[in-house]
A and B are shown apart, each in its own frame.
Chain A
Amino acid sequence: MKARDLTDLALRNLREAILRNALTTLGIAVGVASLVAMLSLGVGLQQLASKRLSQSGLFDTIFVTPKNSFRGMGRPKPRDSEPDKPPRPLDEGARKQLETLPNVIEVYPQIRFFTEVRFNNKPYATVVAGMPDSSRNSGAFDGMQGSFFSSTSADEAILQIEFAKDLSEKPASLVGQDLILRYAERQTNPVADGGDVSSAAGGFSVVPKELKLRIIGIVETEPAAGYGGYGNARLLIPLQTATTLRAAQVNDLRDIVRGDTSDKLTYSSLSVRAKSPSQVEALEASIKNMGFNAFSLLDASKSLRTFFSVFDLLLGIFGSLALAVATLGIINTLVMAILERRREIGVLKALGAADSDVQQLFFVEAGVMGFLGGIFGVTFGWLLGRAITFGTNVYLKRQNLNPIDLSSVPWWLVISALVFAVLVSLGAGLYPASRAAKLNPVDALRYE
Chain B
Amino acid sequence: MADTLPSIQLDHVSRHYHMGETSVRAVDDVSLSIARGEFLALLGSSGSGKSTLLNLIAGLDRPTAGSIVADGADLAALPPLQLARYRRNTVGMIFQSFNLLPRMTLEENVELPLRLAEVEHGERAGRVREALERVQLTHRIGHRPPQLSGGEQQRVAIARALANRPKILLADEPTGNLDSATGEAILNLLRDVQSQLAMTVVMVTHERPLAERFADRLATMGDGKLLATSPAPKVVAQ
Contacts and interface: CB of A to CB of B under 8 A. Distances in A.
Given A351-B113, A351-B116, A441-B60, A343 B80 contact: no
Contacts of B89: 352
A89 to B, nearest CB: 84
Contacts of A348: 112, 116
Contact of B84 (A343, A346, A349): A349
Given A16-B103, A343-B99, A344-B101, A350 B116 contact: no
Interface residues of B, number: 26
A9 B115 contact: yes
A354 interface: yes
A413 interface: no
A264 interface: no
Interface centre among A348, A350, A355 (most CB of B within 10 A): A350
A16 B108 CA distance: 15
Contacts of B88: 351-353
Nearest to A341: B101
A355 B83 CA distance: 11
Given A9-B115, A357-B116, A445 B84 contact: no
Given A2-B115, A357-B116, A442-B61, A352 B84 contact: yes
A147 to B, nearest CB: 64
A359 to B, nearest CB: 12
Interface in B118-148: 118, 121
Interface in B71-115: 80-81, 84-85, 87-89, 93, 95, 99, 101, 103-104, 112-113, 115
A246 interface: no
Contacts of A5: 115, 118
B55 interface: yes
B57 interface: no
Contacts of B118: 1-2, 5
Contacts of A349: 60, 84, 87
A12 interface: yes
Contacts of A337: none
A1 B116 contact: yes
A440 B164 CA distance: 23
Contacts of A346: 99
B58 interface: yes
Interface centre among B84, B85, B89, B117 (most CB of A within 10 A): B84
Contact of B55 (A16, A347, A355, A442): A442
A352 B116 CA distance: 7
Contacts of A1: 115-116, 118
Contacts of A355: 80, 84
Contacts of B104: 12
Contact of B99 (A9, A350, A354, A357): A350
A97 to B, nearest CB: 75
B73 to A, nearest CB: 14
A412 B61 CA distance: 50
Nearest to A15: B103
A352 B103 contact: no
A354 B115 contact: no
A348 B116 CA distance: 8
A350 B85 contact: no
A441 B80 CA distance: 12
A350 B58 contact: yes
A343 B99 CA distance: 8
Nearest to B118: A2
Interface string A2-19: 101100010010001000
A2 B55 CA distance: 27
Nearest to B60: A441
Nearest to B116: A352
Nearest to A441: B60
B101 to A, nearest CB: 6
A349 B104 CA distance: 17
Interface string A319-358: 0000000000000000000000001101111111111110
Nearest to B111: A5
Nearest to B85: A352
A343 B112 CA distance: 15
Nearest to A344: B101
A354 B60 contact: no
Contact of A353 (B101, B116, B160, B164): B116
Nearest to B55: A442
B60 A353 contact: no
A344 B109 CA distance: 12
A353 to B, nearest CB: 5
A157 B104 CA distance: 77
B60 A351 contact: no
B80 A350 contact: no
Contacts of B87: 349-352
Interface in B38-64: 55, 58, 60-61
B103 A354 contact: no
Interface in A202-253: none
Given A2-B118, A12-B103, A344-B101, A350 B84 contact: no
Interface of A: 1-2, 4-5, 9, 12, 16, 343-344, 346-357, 440-442, 445
Closest 3 CB pairs of A and B: A352-B88, A354-B84, A352-B87
Given A1-B118, A351-B116, A353-B84, 15 more contacts: A2-B118, A5-B115, A9-B115, A347-B101, A350-B95, A351-B93, A352-B85, A352-B87, A352-B88, A352-B117, A355-B80, A441-B60, A442-B60, A445-B60, A445-B95
11 contacts: A5-B118, A9-B115, A12-B103, A344-B101, A346-B99, A348-B116, A350-B93, A352-B116, A352-B164, A353-B84, A357-B116
